[in-house]
Structure 1
Amino acid sequence: MTVWVWDSQESRFEEAPEDVGTWTLLAADSWLVEEGQVRAFERHRARFADAAVQVGVGALVTAEFWASVVEKIPEAGEWFPRVDVLETAPGGTRVLALRLRPAPPRTHELGVLIPPYFDPRSTPGRKGPDIAMLENLRTQAREEYDCDEVLLLSKDGYVIEGATTSLLWWDGDTLCAPDPALGALPGVTSALILNEARVRSIPVEYHQVRPEVLIRHEAWLVNALHGIRRVYQLVDTRTDSSPVHVQSATAVVFGRWREWMNSRQRRFLRQ
C-alpha cells in the first residue's frame, strides 16, 4: 500500500511521512477500480466531500484534488483506493490523503454474525473514525464463527447495517431497506440498487427489522468492493451460536442483479 498526503498549497500529492500511521482518521471513502473502470465515482466523491465539511476541511476537497486522485490510480489492474481526512495530532492540522491499495478478493455470498452487543461505533454518522474497530470485530467473527460480516444493531435490537455493508432484503416482490430513522450511513451501492428497483417499478419499502427475521427472506449485504452479496447463513451469538441457513431466491434473479451491478462500471475521465 502506498500513501500520499495532499499539499493544498501546491495542489499536488507528496509521499506521506513515516508516522502517518499514527495520525487520527476523521473521515474516509473507498471504491473499487477494475482495469480503469469504477462504479458511481461521483457519488463517492460527494459523500467524501460531505464528510470533509463535517470535520471542517470541505474547502480542501477541490477539483484539483480529485484529478490528482484519479491520476494516481493505475489504468491496469484491480485496486481499492481510499481517500482520508487525517489529523496529524490531537487538535493539530487536518489534511487529505490517498491510500492506493490492491483490491482484495471478492465474493458473492457471506456468512453473517449477529452480535450480543449494540452498535459500538463512536461516530456512526461518518465513515472513517471507526474503521479499525469494525475491522477488529470482523476479524474476530471470521476467526471464531467463520463469518465475513457483523451486523450492527440499534439499542432496540433492529438491524442498522453491517460493519462494512448496507442491508437490503426481499419481502416477496418488494425490496426493503432499514428505516432511515435508524441512522445507517448513506450507502452508495444500496442507493444505486434502490434507484434501479424504482426504475423497474419494483416496490421499495423501509422497515425496522430484527436480525432473526432475515432468516425467512432473501437478504443482501452490499458495498462498493463486492457489489451485491447474498447472506447464506446467520450465526446468532445471542442464543446458541449455531449457524442457520437463510432463505434464498432463485440463482437466476440474483445473478441478473449482479450482472446489472457490474454493468454500472464506467471508465475514469482523466485530465
Structure 2
Amino acid sequence: MNVWLWNQRESRFQEPMADISSSTLMAADSWFVEDGRARAFDRHRARFGDAAAQVGMGSAITKGFWAAVVEKIPATGEWFPRVDVLEDPSGAERLLAFRLRPAPSRTRELRVLVPSHSDPRTTPCRKGPDIALLERVRADAREQFGCDEVLLINEDGYVIEGATTSLLWWDEETLCTPDPEMGALPGVTSAVILEEARTRSIPIELRRVRPEGLVGHEVWLVNALHGIRRVSEFVDGRGFHDSVQRGDESDQAWAR
C-alpha cells in the first residue's frame, strides 16, 4: 500500500516526511476501481466532501485534489483506494491523505454474526473514526464464529446496517431498507441500487427490523467493494456458548 499526503499550497501529493500511523482518522472514503472505472465515483466524492466539511477541511477538497487522486490510480487492475482526513498526534494540524490499495478478493455471499452487543460506534454517520474499531469487531467475528460480517444493532434491537455494509432485503416483491432515522451511514452502493429499483417501478419500503425478522427473506449486504452480496447464513452470537466455538452451530445459525 502506498500513502501520500496532499500539499495544499503546491496542489500536489508528496510522500510523508514522518510516520503518520499515530495520526487520528477523522474522515475517510473508499471505492472500487477496475481497469480505471469506478461506479458512482461522484457520490463518493460528495460523501467525502461532506465528511471533510464536518471536521473543518471542506475547503481543501478541490478539483485539483480529485484530479491528482485519479492520476495516482493505475489504468489497469483492481484497486480499492481510500482518501482520509488525518489529525496529527498533537491535534494542531489536519491533513488530506490518499492510500492506493490493491482490491481484496471479492465474494458473492457472506456469513453474518448477530452480536451480543449494540452498535459500538462513536461517530456512526461519518465514515472514518470508527474504521479501526469495526475491523476489530469483524476480526473477532471471524475468529470466534467464522463470520465475514457483523450486524450493527441499536439499543432497541433493530438492525441499522452491517459493520462495512448497507442492509437491503426482499419481502416478496418489495425491496426493504432500514428506516434512515436510525442513523445508518449514507451508503453509496445502496443508494444506487434503490435508484435502479425506482426506475424499474419496484416497490420500496423503509422499515425497522430485528434480526429475527430477516429470517426467510432474501437479504443483501452491499458496499462499494463487493457490490451485492447475499447473506448465506446468520449466526446468533447472543446465545454464545462453548459448542459454537467447537463448530457445532445447532440452532445458533439460520441457514439462508
> Aligning the two structures, in what range does the TM-score lie when normalised by the shorter sequence?
over 0.9
Shift of 1:102: 0.3
Aligned equivalent of 1:227: 227
Aligned equivalent of 1:117: 117
**Cα RMSD for the two superposed structures:** 0.9
Gapped regions of structure 2 (runs ≥ 5): 245-251
Structure 1 length-normalised TM: 0.89
Aligned equivalent of 1:51: 51
Aligned equivalent of 1:14: 14
Aligned equivalent of 2:93: 93
Aligned equivalent of 2:195: 195
Alignment of 1:69-148 (within 5 A): 69-148=69-148
Deviation track 1:203-256 (CA, whole Å, cap 9, x = no partner) reads 00000000121111100000000000000100011125622112xxxxxxxxxx
Distance 1:76 1:183 in 2: 37
Distance 1:157 1:17 in 2: 46
Shift of 1:145: 0.6
SS where residue 194 of structure 1 aligns? helix
- What amino acid maps onto 2:220 in structure 1? W
Distance 2:181 2:104 in 1: 33
- What amino acid maps onto 1:142 in structure 2? R
Does the alignment pair 1:175 with 2:175? yes
Shift of 1:19: 1.3
- What amino acid maps onto 2:254 in structure 1? V
- What amino acid maps onto 1:243 in structure 2? A
Distance 1:102 1:59 in 2: 29
Distance 1:220 1:16 in 2: 39
SS where residue 38 of structure 2 aligns? strand
Does the alignment pair 1:210 with 2:220? no
Aligned equivalent of 2:253: 243
Shift of 1:70: 0.1
Distance 2:233 2:122 in 1: 28
Shift of 1:57: 0.6
Aligned equivalent of 2:249: none
Distance 2:204 2:239 in 1: 31
Does the alignment pair 1:151 with 2:161? no
SS where residue 102 of structure 1 aligns? coil
SS where residue 151 of structure 1 aligns? strand
SS where residue 3 of structure 1 aligns? strand
- What amino acid maps onto 2:253 in structure 1? P
Distance 1:50 1:124 in 2: 14
Distance 1:237 1:163 in 2: 15
Gapped regions of structure 1 (runs ≥ 5): 247-271
Shift of 1:143: 1.2
Q: How many residues align?
A: 246
Distance 1:78 1:125 in 2: 28
Identical columns (%): 65
Distance 1:162 1:64 in 2: 33
Shift of 1:91: 2.4
Structure 2 length-normalised TM: 0.94
SS where residue 152 of structure 2 aligns? strand
Distance 1:64 1:19 in 2: 25
Aligned equivalent of 1:255: none
Shift of 1:88: 1.1
- What amino acid maps onto 1:155 in structure 2? E
